[in-house]
Chains A and B, each alone.
Chain A
Amino acid sequence: MGQTSSFFIIPGKFDPAGLSDALRGLTPVFEAPTAARPFDLLDCHDQSLRAQGQLLIASGGTLRLLRGQGDVAVQRCKGKGTFVQDMPDGPVRSALVGFPKLRALMSIGSGKVETANFAVLDDLQKTQVRGSVLSLTANDGQVALVTVHPMRGYDRSYQSVCSTFESMADGNGGIEAVFHSLFSDATPYNAKPEVKLGMQEPSIEVAADIIRTFLVVARQNEAGVIADIDTEFLHDYRVSLRRVRSVLSLFKGVFSPEQTDVLKREFSDLMAPTGRVRDLDVYLLEKDIYFNLIPANLHQGVEAMFAQFAKERTRALAGLSRRFRSAAYDQKMNDLFALFADTKGLEPGPKADRGAYDYACALIWKRYRKVCKLARGITPDTPDQVVHDLRIDCKKLRYLMEFFAPLFDKSDFKKLIKPLKKLQDNLGLFNDYSVQQEALFEFVATQSNSQGQANAQLAMSVGGLIAVLDQRQKAERDRVIANFQHFDSPDIQHLFRTLFHHKED
C-alpha cells in the first residue's frame, strides 16, 4: 500500500533462475505463465508515445500503458484505430491526455505475450515482494517487462529484488530496448527530418538532398492514407510534396529551366488528386466548430451538408487509394527517387554550383525584403488579394529558413521564426475563412437547380455560416497589421540583416 511499483525492461529471454541465484535468504516462486496471446504495440505514426518513453500494449481487449518508473495504467478498451479523445474514461485515457488529437492509435508491431506472476518468499514462506513478468515475443526477438510491487514493511527485500532486476537489465532498460529487441525496423517517423547540409555544398546537391528527403517522407504516408488511419497521413504527404515544389520554385537557376518546368509539372500532377480529399477532411474535422457557429435551429441544413461531405470523402478517398496502389504511381515515385538519388540525372542551371551558405543568405534576404515591402504597404483599405499574397510570401520565407536552418545558429533562428509563425497563423486563419466561404458558396451552387434555387433549410444554414465566417475573416485581417509590426521590430530587422545580408558581397 502507498508505495509505487518499479518497472524493468529486460532484453532477451527472461530466466527466472537469474533471480533465485541473486537473492540471498529469499526464494522467488513463479506461477505458470498464461497461454501466449497476441499483442499489439500501439502508438501513432510519429511514435509520440515512444518519444516520451511510454509503451502502450494492447492484448485481449485490455490496454496497458507503461511509463518510466513502474507507473502502469490498465484499462479495458479497444485501442487500435481509435483516437484517445474517443476512448471511454479510464486510467489509460487520462494518462494519455497530451496525445495528439488528430492522430489515431495504430499498431507499430505485434507478437505474442505471456504473463506470469511471482512472489518472493522468506524462510517462513511469507511473501515479501510481489511482481509480474510480461514476456513479449516478436519476429525480431524477445523482451521481458517486469513490474515489482513493494509490500509494506519489507523495503529491504524490495530493494534487493529491484537491484537484481536492474543488473539483469544491464543499463539497457529504457523503452528503446523494447523496440530494439522486438521491432528493430520500426524507425520513428519524422515529418520534418533535418537535412544535413555543408556550408560550401553546391546548391544543386542541396536541392537534391531536400527533395530526396521529402520524397521519402511522402512515401511513408501512403500506407496510412490507404488504410485511412487518420487524416494526418494525407496532410503530411501533401506538406512533403509542397516542400519539394517550393524547392523547385524557390531555388531559381539551380536546375535548367527546361528540367525545372518538367519537374514542376510532375509534382503538380502528383499533388492534384489529393486536394479534394484534404479539403473534405478539413471540413469534416471542423464539423463541431461549424455547428457551434450557428444557432441550433439552423443545424438541420448543416447536418445535410456534412452528410454529403462524408459521402463525397469516401468516394474521393477510394479513388486516391486506388491511385496510390497502382503500379503506374509506384513507378512514377521510384523514377523520381532515382532521379534525385544523386545529381547525375539532373541538368544544372546557372546557379547550380553556388555554395549553400551564400545561396541561402541571398534567397532568404531577398524573400524577407519582399515580405517587408508587401506588409508595410498594408492598410485597412488594401484589397484582400494583397493579404493573400503576403501569406504566400511568408510561407516561402518560412520554407527557405527551414531548408537552410542547419547552416545557421539554432537560437537565432528560433527568435526569427517565433514572430513569423504568429503572423503566419494569423494569415492562415484569414485564408481558411475566405476559402471556407468560397467552398460554401460553391456547395450551395452545386445543390441548386437550373434557376439557382436551393433547399431553404440548406440555404439558411449556409447563409448563416458565411455571415459568421466573414466576420471572423475581417477580425483576422485586423490582426495582420499588429502581428506584422511585431515581426518587424528593430531587433528582428537587425538579426535578419546580420544573418543574411553581408555588405561586402
Chain B
Amino acid sequence: MKIIACYSNKGGVGKTATSVNLAYAYARAGSTVLLCDLDPQGASGFYFRVKPSKKLTDARFFEDVARFTKSIRASDFEGLDVLPANLTFRDFDVFLSRMRNKRSRLKKALVTAGSDYDVIILDCPPNFSTLSENIFKAADQILVPVIPTTLSERTLEQLVSFFEKQKLPKKKIKAFFSMVQRRKTLHLETMEKMRKAYKKRFLNSEIPFAADIERMGQNRAPVSIYAGRSAASAAYQALFDELENGVVSTK
C-alpha cells in the first residue's frame, strides 16, 4: 500500500483538484484507491458528489474501526472510494500507522470489508500542524503543487527547511508547477529559477491554469470525465505517469 499526501501550506494552489484527478487516474489504471478528504475547506468529497458526514468531527473517530469503515463511500467510479470528512485529527498518525500494519484492527476491518486499498490519497489542510508533521512521516510521497509566483516560492522554501530541521527525508517531496500560465513571463522565469534552485524536488509534469479545471465545481467530476481530450486532462495523466512509472511526458 502506498500513501500519497497532496500538501501545500498555501491555500488555493490546486491541491484538491490534484487529489481528485490523481485518485481517478490511479483507479482507472486498475488500483483500488481511497481518497481521504482531510481539509475542512477542501472539496474532494464535493467533487465526487459525496455528501460530508456530519458525525465525523470526533477526535476518537479513528480509534473506532467500525465507524471508520462505515463512513467510507463508494464513488461513481470503479475502485475509487472516498472518506468524506470535516475532521480534526489528533490521532491521525495512529490511523496512518494502523493502515500500514497488517495486524491492526483497522487493517483487518478494511480487508474484511473488501477494501484493502492499493493507494491512499490524502487531501491535506493548508497549514503546518501536528497533523502535517504526522503526514510527512507517514506518507510515501508528498505531492506539492506550486504556483510559479514569488509567494509560492517562499512557501516551498518553508516546507523544505522544515524537513531539514526535523530531519525528515526530503526525497519524499515531489513538487510540481500548478496553475501554470505559459504566456506570463513571470511564470516562465520563476519556473526556471526554481527548477535550478530545487533540482531534485521538481517533477517535470506541470498542470496548466485551465478553465476546464475550474469547471470541476460545476461538473462535480474528474476533468477527464467531462473534458477527456483537454490539455488539463492530459496534464493530470502525465503527472500520474511520472509519479507512478517515472515516465516523463515528452509533450
Q: Which residues from chain A sit less than 8 Å from chain B, CB to CB?
A: 1-3, 122, 124-127, 151-154
Q: Evaluate contact between A2 and B71: CB separation under 8 angstroms.
A: no
Q: Evaluate contact between A126 and B114: CB separation under 8 angstroms.
A: no
Q: A1-B81, A126-B76 are in contact. Are A152 and B220 (CB under 8 A)?
A: no
The answer, among A122, A125, A127, A152, for a CB contact under 8 Å with B115, is A152
Q: Which residues of B contact A126 (CB under 8 A)?
A: 48-51, 76
Name the distance in Å between A447's Cβ and chain B's nearest Cβ.
Answer: 61
Q: Which residues of A contact B81 (CB under 8 A)?
A: 1, 152-153
Q: Is B197 an interface residue (CB 8 A)?
A: no
User: Which B residues, 77 to 98, have Cβ-Cβ distances below 8 Å to chain A?
Assistant: 81
> Which of A2, A3, A122, A151 neighbours the largest number of chain B CB atoms within 10 Å of its CB?
A2
Q: Is B159 an interface residue (CB 8 A)?
A: no
Q: Which residues of B contact A122 (CB under 8 A)?
A: 49
- How distant is the Cα of A153 from the Cα of B50 in the complex, in angstroms? 10
Q: Evaluate contact between A153 and B114: CB separation under 8 angstroms.
A: no
Q: Evaluate contact between B115 and A1: CB separation under 8 angstroms.
A: yes
- How distant is the Cα of A46 from the Cα of B115 in the complex, in angstroms? 42
Top 3 nearest A-B pairs (CB, nearest first) are A2-B114, A153-B73, A126-B49
Name the distance in Å between B76's Cβ and chain A's nearest Cβ.
Answer: 5
Name the distance in Å between A118's Cβ and chain B's nearest Cβ.
Answer: 14
Nearest opposing residue in chain B for A4, CB measure: B114
- How distant is the Cα of A127 from the Cα of B49 in the complex, in angstroms? 9
Name the distance in Å between A23's Cβ and chain B's nearest Cβ.
Answer: 18
Question: Which label, helix, strand, loop or mixed, suits the secondary structure of the A interface?
Answer: loop
The answer, among B49, B72, B112, B220, for a CB contact under 8 Å with A153, is B72
Q: Which residues of A contact B74 (CB under 8 A)?
A: 1, 151-154
Q: A124-B49, A124-B51 are in contact. Are A153 and B70 (CB under 8 A)?
A: yes
User: Which B residues, 204 to 223, have Cβ-Cβ distances below 8 Å to chain A?
Assistant: 220
Q: Which residues of B contact A1 (CB under 8 A)?
A: 32, 74, 81, 113-115
Query: Number of contacting residues on B, CB 8 A?
Result: 17
Q: Which residues of A contact B112 (CB under 8 A)?
A: 2
- How distant is the Cα of A154 from the Cα of B115 in the complex, in angstroms? 15
Q: Which residues of A contact B49 (CB under 8 A)?
A: 122, 124-126
Name the distance in Å between A349's Cβ and chain B's nearest Cβ.
Answer: 71
Q: Which residues of A contact B73 (CB under 8 A)?
A: 151-154
Can you spell out 27 A-B residue pairs with CB atoms less than 8 angstroms apart? A1-B32, A1-B74, A1-B81, A1-B113, A2-B112, A2-B114, A3-B114, A124-B49, A124-B51, A124-B220, A125-B220, A126-B48, A126-B49, A126-B50, A126-B76, A127-B76, A151-B73, A151-B74, A152-B72, A152-B73, A152-B81, A152-B115, A153-B50, A153-B70, A153-B73, A153-B81, A154-B73
Nearest opposing residue in chain A for B112, CB measure: A2
Q: Which residues of A contact B76 (CB under 8 A)?
A: 126-127
14 other contacts beyond A1-B115, A151-B73, A152-B113, with CB at 8 A cut-off? A1-B74, A2-B113, A3-B114, A122-B49, A124-B220, A125-B220, A126-B49, A126-B76, A127-B76, A151-B74, A152-B73, A152-B115, A153-B72, A154-B73
Name the distance in Å between B190's Cβ and chain A's nearest Cβ.
Answer: 38
Name the distance in Å between A71's Cβ and chain B's nearest Cβ.
Answer: 15
Nearest opposing residue in chain B for A153, CB measure: B73
- How distant is the Cα of A152 from the Cα of B112 in the complex, in angstroms? 13
Nearest opposing residue in chain A for B71, CB measure: A153
- How distant is the Cα of A153 from the Cα of B48 in the complex, in angstroms? 14
Name the distance in Å between B35's Cβ and chain A's nearest Cβ.
Answer: 13
Name the distance in Å between A166's Cβ and chain B's nearest Cβ.
Answer: 23
Q: Evaluate contact between A2 and B115: CB separation under 8 angstroms.
A: yes
Name the distance in Å between A423's Cβ and chain B's nearest Cβ.
Answer: 51
Name the distance in Å between B172's Cβ and chain A's nearest Cβ.
Answer: 29
Contact flags B9-28 to A (C-beta < 8 A → 1, else 0): 00000000000000000000
- How distant is the Cα of A305 from the Cα of B219 in the complex, in angstroms? 73
Q: Which residues of B contact A124 (CB under 8 A)?
A: 49, 51, 220
Q: Which residues of A contact B220 (CB under 8 A)?
A: 124-125
Q: Which residues of B contact A153 (CB under 8 A)?
A: 50, 70-74, 81
Nearest opposing residue in chain A for B53, CB measure: A153
Q: Which residues of A contact B113 (CB under 8 A)?
A: 1-2, 152
- How distant is the Cα of A124 from the Cα of B217 in the complex, in angstroms? 12
Q: Which residues of B contact A127 (CB under 8 A)?
A: 76
Q: Which residues of B contact A3 (CB under 8 A)?
A: 114
Name the distance in Å between B114's Cβ and chain A's nearest Cβ.
Answer: 3
- How distant is the Cα of A151 from the Cα of B48 in the complex, in angstroms? 14
> Which of A125, A126, A152 neighbours the largest number of chain B CB atoms within 10 Å of its CB?
A152
- How distant is the Cα of A163 from the Cα of B236 in the complex, in angstroms? 42
> Which of A1, A124, A126, A151 neighbours the largest number of chain B CB atoms within 10 Å of its CB?
A1
- How distant is the Cα of A126 from the Cα of B32 in the complex, in angstroms? 19
Q: Which residues of B contact A125 (CB under 8 A)?
A: 49, 220
Name the distance in Å between A186's Cβ and chain B's nearest Cβ.
Answer: 38
Name the distance in Å between A5's Cβ and chain B's nearest Cβ.
Answer: 13
Q: Which residues of B contact A2 (CB under 8 A)?
A: 112-115
Name the distance in Å between B118's Cβ and chain A's nearest Cβ.
Answer: 12
Name the distance in Å between A395's Cβ and chain B's nearest Cβ.
Answer: 55
- How distant is the Cα of A154 from the Cα of B74 in the complex, in angstroms? 8
- How distant is the Cα of A169 from the Cα of B49 in the complex, in angstroms? 32
Name the distance in Å between B30's Cβ and chain A's nearest Cβ.
Answer: 14
Name the distance in Å between B1's Cβ and chain A's nearest Cβ.
Answer: 15
Nearest opposing residue in chain A for B78, CB measure: A1
> Which of B32, B49, B74, B114 neighbours the largest number of chain A CB atoms within 10 Å of its CB?
B74
Q: Which residues of B contact A154 (CB under 8 A)?
A: 73-74
Name the distance in Å between B240's Cβ and chain A's nearest Cβ.
Answer: 22
Q: Which residues of A contact B72 (CB under 8 A)?
A: 152-153
User: Which B residues, 28 to 86, have Cβ-Cβ distances below 8 Å to chain A?
Assistant: 32, 48-51, 70-74, 76, 81
Name the distance in Å between B246's Cβ and chain A's nearest Cβ.
Answer: 29
Name the distance in Å between B159's Cβ and chain A's nearest Cβ.
Answer: 34
- How distant is the Cα of A1 from the Cα of B74 in the complex, in angstroms? 8
- How distant is the Cα of A443 from the Cα of B78 in the complex, in angstroms? 63
Name the distance in Å between A154's Cβ and chain B's nearest Cβ.
Answer: 7
